[in-house]
């Protein structure tokens, strides 16, 4: 299994704590020694939208790259791609969703609008020989629209393929999928798309990330995203908690006799670089009946998202 460590991007984008650039660099450098195949270092998104990652350029500049490790970044538009080229990223990831509402809230455009933005990105990256991943968020559930039909995911996947995206990351943004739902979606996708072009990206809100990854394994899926310490979440997805923890993924796979080559001890060393900044990994949904919006970490200053009254 190829493990893609997304902690420096998915983990740190959702933190309220201010993490200094030097600590991010030290975190990535330590992760580079852990044996993971790929590290999503940061995101070249609008600093107005995700101020936590506004230092993406400096983080890329500061890291010490290890041979054999792929250093990737999120890009939402051509401006992001230009920044990724300038920073020397090895790979970029565009991101859209199977839910229109989430897509609007996250990248301020429709699914079609996003795909139009991605077309020139895919073409320019191909010309530069740079691989592109395409995330499909809300592949099972959306915080705003509820359950998402597998057919809606297939439509987005096919469009990403059509514009030349090499790898799609099927993403359970709010961590609500069950293994049966994973199987239902993969039953639909696999006949149309080779398993080696699919990655799985599970958030672990309900503690099912590991079961879900193991459900994907028999389909031939061999790329899984995870974040050290279970950091993560999306600031525009109410209720999204951390990604499945890298150490849990390593342990679960090795229990099944699958070698990962990843050192849990080194993952823990990496996390020590974040220890002073009160990072709250493995964040779980607050219980029903918690204080309403005034105390809601997901409100983003907008109207109540209904999360506490009606958690999906
Ligand atoms: P917009 O406001 O519609 O776009 O945002 P805009 O073009 O009007 O830009 C607004 C400002 O941002 C402008 O600056 C631009 O120059 C600047 P101003 O003129 O106002 O000073 N800007 C940029 N600056 C630097 N780099 C850029 C860039 N683009 C614009 N690339 C936009 C549209 C897509 C930019 C915005 O919505 C955005 O950045 N969204 C990103 C949201 C995000 O990062 N969400 C979290 C990641 S997705 C996720 O976590 C899910 C995932 O993990 C999978 C899963 O779990 O589901 C991947
Ligand atoms: Mg995510």
Ordered domains of the chain (ranges, CATH) = 2-281 (3.20.20.70), 283-312 (no CATH)
DSSP three-state, residue 234: coil
Q: Read off the pLDDT of each residue in 258-282 and give the average, rounded to a whole number.
A: 87
Is residue 239's pLDDT more than 60? yes
Best residue among 5, 8, 15, 46 to mutate for probing ligand 1's pocket (most ligand atoms within 8 Å of CB) is 46
Rg of the chain's alpha carbons, rounded to an integer? 18
DSSP three-state, residue 178: coil
Q: List the structure tokens of 136.
A: 């499909």
Q: Where do runs of H (alpha helix) occur along 217-308?
A: 246-255, 264-272
Of all residues in the chain, the percent with pLDDT exceeding 70 is: 88
Active site includes 142?
no
For residue 119, give the H/E element and its range. Answer: helix 111-127
How far is Cα 105 from Cα 64, in angstroms, rounded to an integer? 35
Spatial contact of 133 and 165, defined as CB atoms under 8 Å apart: yes
Which has the closest alpha carbon to 282: 243, 247, 312?
243
Q: List the structure tokens of 45.
A: 């998104």
How far is Cα 27 from Cα 52, in angstroms, rounded to an integer? 15
Ranked by mean pLDDT, which of 9-13, 214-218, 230-234, 290-294 comes out on top?
Answer: 214-218
pLDDT of residue 143: 85
How far is Cα 195 from Cα 2, in angstroms, rounded to an integer? 13
Q: List the structure tokens of 210.
A: 């590991």
pLDDT of residue 312: 28
pLDDT digits (tens, 9 = 90+) for 156-202: 999 999 999 999 999 999 888 999 999 999 999 999 999 999 999 99
Which has the closest alpha carbon to 10: 70, 63, 58, 52?
52
Residue 50, ligand 1, Cβ within 6 A: yes
Cβ density class 136-170: b for 16+ within 10 Å, e for less: bbbbbbbbbbeebebebbbebbebbeebebbbbbb
Residue 170, ligand 1, Cβ within 6 A: no
Sign for the pseudo-dihedral over CA of 272, 273, 274, 278: positive
Q: Read off the pLDDT of each residue in 42-49 and give the average, rounded to a whole number.
A: 96
Q: Read off the pLDDT of each residue in 283-300 and give the average, rounded to a whole number.
A: 45
How far is Cα 247 from Cα 310, in angstroms, rounded to an integer? 32
Q: Ligand 2 center to residue 232 CA distance, Å? A: 7
Q: Which residues pair with 197 in a beta bridge?
A: none
Best residue among 45, 134, 140 to mutate for probing ligand 1's pocket (most ligand atoms within 8 Å of CB) is 45
Higher pLDDT, 76 or 174: 76
pLDDT of residue 291: 36
Is residue 73's pLDDT more than 80? yes
Q: Read off the pLDDT of each residue in 245-265 and give the average, rounded to a whole number.
A: 94
221: Cβ contacts below 8 Å, ≥ 6 apart: 186, 195, 198, 199, 200
pLDDT of residue 298: 54
Count Cα atoms within 13 angstroms, Cβ side, for 218: 8
CA separation, residue 153 to residues 141, 157, 192, 222, 223 (Å): 11, 6, 12, 20, 19
Spatial contact of 200 and 225, defined as CB atoms under 8 Å apart: yes
Q: Ligand 1 center to residue 156 CA distance, Å? A: 20
Report the greatest alpha carbon distance in the chain. Answer: 53
Active-site residue, selected from the candidate residues 142, 234, 264, 305: 234
DSSP state of 218: G
């Amino acid at each position: 299994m190829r493990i893609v460590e997304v902690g420096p991007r998915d983990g740190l984008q959702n933190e309220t704590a201010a993490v200094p650039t030097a600590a991010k660099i030290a975190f990535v450098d330590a992760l580079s020694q852990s044996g993971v195949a790929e590290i999503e270092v940061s995101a070249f998104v609008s600093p107005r939208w995700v101020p936590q990652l506004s230092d993406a350029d400096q983080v890329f500049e500061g890291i010490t790259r290890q041979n054999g490790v792929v250093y990737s970044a999120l890009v939402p538009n051509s401006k992001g791609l230009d920044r990724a080229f300038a920073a020397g990223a090895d790979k970029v990831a565009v991101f859209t969703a199977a839910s229109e509402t989430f897509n609007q809230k996250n990248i301020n455009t429709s699914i079609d609008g996003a795909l139009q933005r991605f077309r020139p990105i895919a073409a320019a990256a191909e010309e530069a020989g740079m691989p592109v991943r395409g995330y499909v968020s809300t592949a099972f559930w959306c915080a705003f629209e509820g359950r998402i039909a597998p057919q809606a995911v297939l439509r987005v996947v096919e469009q990403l393929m059509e514009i030349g995206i090499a790898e799609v990351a099927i993403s359970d943004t709010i961590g609500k999928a069950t293994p049966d739902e994973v199987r239902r979606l993969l039953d639909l996708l696999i006949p149309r798309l080779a398993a080696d072009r699919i990655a799985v990206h599970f958030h672990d809100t309900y503690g099912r990330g590991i079961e879900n990854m193991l459900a994907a394994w028999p389909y031939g899926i061999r790329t899984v995203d995870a974040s050290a310490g279970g950091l993560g979440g999306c600031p525009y997805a109410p209720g999204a908690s951390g990604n499945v923890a890298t150490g849990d993924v390593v342990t679960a796979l090795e229990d099944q006799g699958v070698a990962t080559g990843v050192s849990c001890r080194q993952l823990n060393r990496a996390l020590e670089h974040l220890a002073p900044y009160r990072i709250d990994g493995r964040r779980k949904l607050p219980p029903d009946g918690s204080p309403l919006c005034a105390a809601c970490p997901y409100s983003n200053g907008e109207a109540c998202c209904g999360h506490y009254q009606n958690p999906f």
